[in-house]
Amino acid sequence: MLLCLTGWLAPQLGLADIDPAEYGLKSSVRSEKERQRLQAEFHTDKKREAELQRQEEEIEARRLAAEKAAWDALPYPVRLTKSRCTTCHIADYYTRQRHNRIGWGLVNLRMQYWNGVALTAEERVAIADYLAESYPAAGAAAMLEALLQLAVPLLPLWLWLAWKITRSRFGKRLNE
Ligand code: HEC
């Protein structure tokens, strides 16, 4: 019990053991001359800081100007596509896709009517022209896309054919 008590007391005593001299005015300014020197130092520091900040702002302004110049240098369809499409996708998303002109036109139509993108007819044309020229479908994928684009509008024909075939078989069976 006693041991416990001393164990508890010792650190408490230790806490009170700080030399009041530690709080002394070691860093206080003692003479007018020193005060002036410190003030001058403080001013130089402030000036250097302001100069650094000015330099940083200049670099940032130059970066923004370069960015704007690069943007202005882009052809109109690229700027149009980026400003219309990168609100939802990163540009990589659609530049990784490949479609023919009809395919890109359909993508734009879907973006407009399905996903609610505000596009005028001229913008749709400009964007689809640009994307089809820059990111065209090639090889087997292009053939498949063209085939699908051909086959889908002929859907009524396929349905009619299927109906004909079924009916002729059914009719034959009835006659037997
Ligand atoms: C309002 C947000 C929004 C904007 C703006 C937008 N999209 Fe999309 N996009 C979507 C969503 C959501 C999907 C996924 C659902 C879908 O496929 O419809 C998608 C899917 C796609 C796909 C993949 C589907 C496919 O058919 O290959 C492509 C490519 C695409 N978008 C291209 C574009 C292009 C090009 C533009 C600019 C004209 C655009 N998007 C603008 C929302 C948007």
pLDDT tens for 57-79 read 999 999 999 999 999 999 999 99
Ligand 1: lining residues by beta carbon, under 6 Å: 84-85, 87-89, 94, 97, 107-108, 110-111, 114-117, 127
| pLDDT tens digit sequence for 129-145 | 999 999 999 999 999 99
Average pLDDT of the residues in 97-115: 95
Amino acid at position 68, single letter: K
Asked which of 32-41, 87-96, 135-144, 164-173 is least confident by mean pLDDT, the reply is: 164-173
Give the ligand 1 atom nearest the CA of 108.
38
Contacts 24+ apart (CB under 8 A), 9-12: none
In a domain, 5, yes or no: no
Contact 81, 131 (CB under 8 A): yes
In a domain, 68, yes or no: yes
| Residue listed under structure tokens 């010792």 | 10
Which of the listed residues 109, 115, 125 should we mutate to test ligand 1's pocket, taking the one with most ligand atoms within 8 A of CB?
115
The percentage of the chain sitting over the pLDDT mark of 70, rounded to a whole number, equals: 81
| Residue listed under structure tokens 């001393």 | 6
| pLDDT tens digit sequence for 149-165 | 999 999 999 999 999 99
Share the mean pLDDT of the chain: 87
In a domain, 161, yes or no: no
Q: Whose CA is nearest to atom 8 of ligand 1?
A: 111
| Domain assignment of residue 118, given as a range | 53-154
- Higher-confidence position of 29 and 167: 167
Measured distance CA(80)–CA(100) in Å, rounded? 19
How many domains does the structure of the chain reveal? 1
In a domain, 95, yes or no: yes
| Residue listed under structure tokens 């890109």 | 104
In a domain, 67, yes or no: yes
Answering whether pTM is above 0.75, one says no
In a domain, 69, yes or no: yes
In a domain, 135, yes or no: yes
Q: 114 C-alpha to center of ligand 1: Å?
A: 9
In a domain, 166, yes or no: no
Q: Whose CA is nearest to atom 43 of ligand 1?
A: 88
Q: 108 C-alpha to center of ligand 1: Å?
A: 8
